[in-house]
Amino acid sequence: MSDPRPRPSHAESDDQAKQELEAELAAAAGEPAPSTAIERDLADMKDRLLRSLAEMENLRKRTEREVADSRAYAITVFARDILTVADNMHRALGALDSELRQKADTAVKALLDGVELTERELLNVLEKHGVKKLEPLGQKFDPNRHQAMYEMPDASAAPGTVVQVVQAGYTIGDRVLRPALVAIAKAPAKTESPANDNSGTA
């Protein structure tokens, strides 16, 4: 009785034998079979794609930070220069004490009021652009924001506390634009009580 199933042609049989032979030769040579090599190449391409995507994301975030910093600190040089104007206005106002102001005539008082108004407006404009005045008086000395000019004895303040502001300091964003020049408190010198004179004889 003959087999009803169709027999493979000589060409198909040769191709199949050739593929089996290539697979056996590759295995004998220690090389991966063709399907394994394709899978390895796909995995390698996927890994490179993921790395490229991660690098692009890091570049995007870094660019966003740099743009934000450029916007926040673009006026740093200008702001540092304009602080001289604020300092001079403050010195002009401090040149007259309260007693002299009370004795001054109306024209001088009006001039002083105008200077004070201009100083306040200048500080408001600076703050609008991210520049803020430091208020260190009574705070603990911070070397990152303050620059100590000298120490002065002060029994009413803890040692290391800012007790006088020589020149105002300013910040821009999260950075110090100019440190405040300050005087800090130190403990008053202890007065030694006179020693008992025991040199005499009883």
pLDDT value of residue 151: 92
pLDDT value of residue 111: 86
Q: Is the pLDDT of residue 134 over 60?
A: yes
Higher-pLDDT residue of 36, 6: 36
CA distances from 95 to 21, 90, 136 (A): 103, 9, 22
Both structure tokens of 10: 């000589």
Strand 175-178: give its sheet, edge to edge: 131-133, 170-172, 175-178
pLDDT value of residue 202: 41
77-132 pLDDT, tens digit per residue, is 899 999 999 999 888 888 877 777 778 888 888 888 888 899 999 999 999 999 99
Residues 6 or more apart whose CB falls under 8 angstroms from that of 121 comprise none
CA distances from 120 to 87, 114, 125, 147 (A): 12, 10, 9, 24
CA distance 181 to 133: 13
Residues 6 or more apart whose CB falls under 8 angstroms from that of 130 comprise 72, 75, 172, 173
141-167 pLDDT, tens digit per residue, is 999 999 999 999 988 889 999 999 999
Q: Is the pLDDT of residue 197 over 60?
A: no
